[in-house]
């Protein structure tokens, strides 16, 4: 089975960031993070680019090039120091930054995310969930309190919140993003499918387009059927 790990969404433009790390490398960092976690769990102290290449299905030369970008220089005959690389990637990715998140939308998707250990693994603390449904307000999901959306501005003004995870219906996404833009919250993790580009130049929006991933699977099934 060839697992392509196709992207949910893509912009292939290669731009250089402040740190001279290209956006293409940045896009691969979370993947290195995942594989390095596994190596650490296995107690592996060092790894060659060849072995990492086999595991990650990326060419060894690509790996060397990527890791050199942020100072992960392998040593001939020794390979890479796994713990050092992991720490460096955590630092770049802000895993140790202690970000706090709120989830806006306590429906099935919001609840699924609230229960997901992904946040904890990546150093993000989910501190509250907001919803309009009076029946949900006052309950908790995974020990995270559900608050009424009317409380949002007051909460944002009195707590440190770095990102809002938008899992509310698409029709309400734009208005909510405008409300967020008026608080100190900078990041939006957007599951709504609504384009939020034009809301506010200070917001950092990360879109999840699950439909794009589904389409890629469709494409691969369709190509296979034609063979």
Positions 113 through 142 that interact with a second copy (CB under 8 A): 113, 115-116, 118-119, 121-124
The nearest distance, CB 144 to a second copy, in angstroms, is: 13
Instruction: Give the residue with the Cβ less far from a second copy, 75 or 135.
Output: 135
Please tell me the total number of residues recorded for the chain in this structure: 227
The nearest distance, CB 13 to a second copy, in angstroms, is: 7
Of the chain, the end-to-end C-alpha distance in Å amounts to 16
Could you give phi then psi for residue 34, rounded to 5 degrees? -60, -45
Number of residues that bind a second copy (CB under 8 A): 87
Is residue 45 a contact point for a second copy (CB under 8 A)? no
Give the C-alpha separation, 41 to 64, whole Å. Answer: 22
Give the C-alpha separation, 59 to 217, whole Å. Answer: 24
Contact stretch for a second copy (CB under 8 A) within 45-53, 72-80, 94-102, 143-151: 94-102
Contact stretch for a second copy (CB under 8 A) within 71-79, 101-109, 132-140, 153-161: 101-109
- Binders of a second copy among residues 8 to 27 (CB under 8 A) are 8-13, 17-19, 23-24, 26-27
Contact criterion met (CB below 8 Å) for 12 and 43: no
- DSSP 8-state class, residue 16: B
Is residue 187 a contact point for a second copy (CB under 8 A)? yes
Instruction: Give the residue with the Cβ less far from a second copy, 87 or 205.
Output: 205
| Bridge partner list, 71 | none
Of 79, 93, 80, nearest to 31 by C-alpha is 93
Instruction: Give the residue with the Cβ less far from a second copy, 40 or 186.
Output: 186
Give the C-alpha separation, 128 to 108, whole Å. Answer: 15
Give the C-alpha separation, 144 to 207, whole Å. Answer: 23
Contact stretch for a second copy (CB under 8 A) within 42-50, 72-80, 89-97, 127-135: 89-97
Could you give phi then psi for residue 102, rounded to 5 degrees? -120, 150
The nearest distance, CB 95 to a second copy, in angstroms, is: 7
Q: What residues contact residue 118 under an 8 Å CB cut-off, 6+ apart?
A: none
Q: Which one of 20, 75, 158, 202 is in contact with a second copy (CB under 8 A)? A: 202
Is residue 108 a contact point for a second copy (CB under 8 A)? yes
Q: Which one of 152, 162, 173, 176 is in contact with a second copy (CB under 8 A)? A: 162
- Binders of a second copy among residues 47 to 76 (CB under 8 A) are 57-59, 62
């Amino acid at each position: 089975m060839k697992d392509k790990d196709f992207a949910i969404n893509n912009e292939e433009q290669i731009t250089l960031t402040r740190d001279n790390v290209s956006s293409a490398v940045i896009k691969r960092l979370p993947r290195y993070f995942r594989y390095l976690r596994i190596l650490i769990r296995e107690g592996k102290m060092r790894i060659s680019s060849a072995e990492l290449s086999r595991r990650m299905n990326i060419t060894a030369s690509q790996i060397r090039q990527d890791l050199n970008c942020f100072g992960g220089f392998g040593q001939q005959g020794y390979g890479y120091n796994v713990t050092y690389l992991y720490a460096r990637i955590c630092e770049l990715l802000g895993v140790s930054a202690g970000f706090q998140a709120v989830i806006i939308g306590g429906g099935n998707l919001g609840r699924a995310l609230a229960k997901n250990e992904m946040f904890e693994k990546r150093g993000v603390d989910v501190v509250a969930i907001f919803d309009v449904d009076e029946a949900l307000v006052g309950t908790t999901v995974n020990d995270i309190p559900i608050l009424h959306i009317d409380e949002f501005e007051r909460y944002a003004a009195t707590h440190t919140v770095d990102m809002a995870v938008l899992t509310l219906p698409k029709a309400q996404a734009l208005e909510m993003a405008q409300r967020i833009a008026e608080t100190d919250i900078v990041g939006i993790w957007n599951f709504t499918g609504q384009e939020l580009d034009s809301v506010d130049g200070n917001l950092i929006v990360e879109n999840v387009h699950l439909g794009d991933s589904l389409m890629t699977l469709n494409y691969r099934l369709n190509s296979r059927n034609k063979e």
